[in-house]
Amino acid sequence: MGGAKHEGQLGSVYEAKSPEEIAALYDGWAGSYEAEMAQAGYRHPTICLALLARHLPKGAGPILDAGAGTGILGEWLAIAGYPEAEAIDLSEGMLAVAARKGVYRRLHRLALGQPLPFADGSFAGVVSAGVFTTGHVGSEGLDELVRICRPGGVIVLTVKTTLWTGGFADHVAGFAPTLSIAEQTEPYVSMPGEAATIPSLAVVLKKSA
């Protein structure tokens, strides 16, 4: 069944031991990723878009989709009023699917957790759906996103609750007073169609002007 296959794919990614292994797993998953995530009722992009629209004025840009994957969120950014968007992701295969949609002005194969080749304050908004999660990117991935977010801009991201309570929230607090939590959701399950999954939450981080 599709559901079982989906759990297998995500399970393998959760257990990946290196960025190269994660990239290879997503490269192989790229062709069927969206169909399988839709079947599982995947919620992160919808929730991130709602929060972005509440905290960033229509027309603000550019937006960085960090860990954009196949561009599920990117497809909606222009419709929601943010036509200027760029994508970064570790997986060439995921980026290739995103590129075919023609919704990002630039796509970059880059790793969160490493230095990013963007000037300070390059982006009015940064959004990251489903990336700060088990076996993917930890709180160290936030530092460069804070640097490249414009003063007055926002960073919207989802985080597994285990990461959040296991150091991520403290890491965010360490950026004060440059960064503050503008909004935080209650924990929710990102894929209701998947059995036994650790809840996530979404946060809006505001960079002081």
Ligand X SMILES: C[S@@+](CC[C@H](N)C(=O)[O-])C[C@H]1O[C@@H](n2cnc3c(N)ncnc32)[C@H](O)[C@@H]1O
Distances (CA, A) of 136 to 20, 77, 145, 151: 11, 24, 16, 27
Q: How far is the CB of 61 from ligand X (least distance, A)?
A: 18
Q: Which residue of 6, 43, 44, 160 would you call a contact of ligand X, by CB under 6 A? A: 44
74 near ligand X (CB under 6 A): no
CB 162 to ligand X: min, Å = 16
Segment interacting with ligand X (CB under 6 A) among 19-27, 163-171, 175-183, 201-209: 19-27
Binding mask 130-149 for ligand X (x = CB under 6 A): xx----xx------------
List phi, psi (to 5°) of 119. -70, 160
Query: Residue with structure tokens 């603000």?
Result: 60
112 belongs to the binding site for ligand X (CB under 6 A): yes
Asked if residue 62 has a cis previous peptide bond (ω within 30° of 0), the answer is: yes
Candidates 105-113, 145-153, 180-188, 191-199 — which segment interacts with ligand X by CB under 6 A? 105-113
Exactly one of 52, 129, 145, 163 binds ligand X (CB under 6 A); that residue is 129
Q: Which stretch binds ligand X (CB under 6 A): 51-59, 61-69, 142-150, 168-176?
A: 61-69
Torsion of CA 165, 166, 168, 173, to 10 degrees: 70
49 lies in the site for ligand X, by CB under 6 A: no
How far, in Å, CA of 157 to CA of 45, rounded? 10
Contact 180, 208 (CB under 8 A): yes
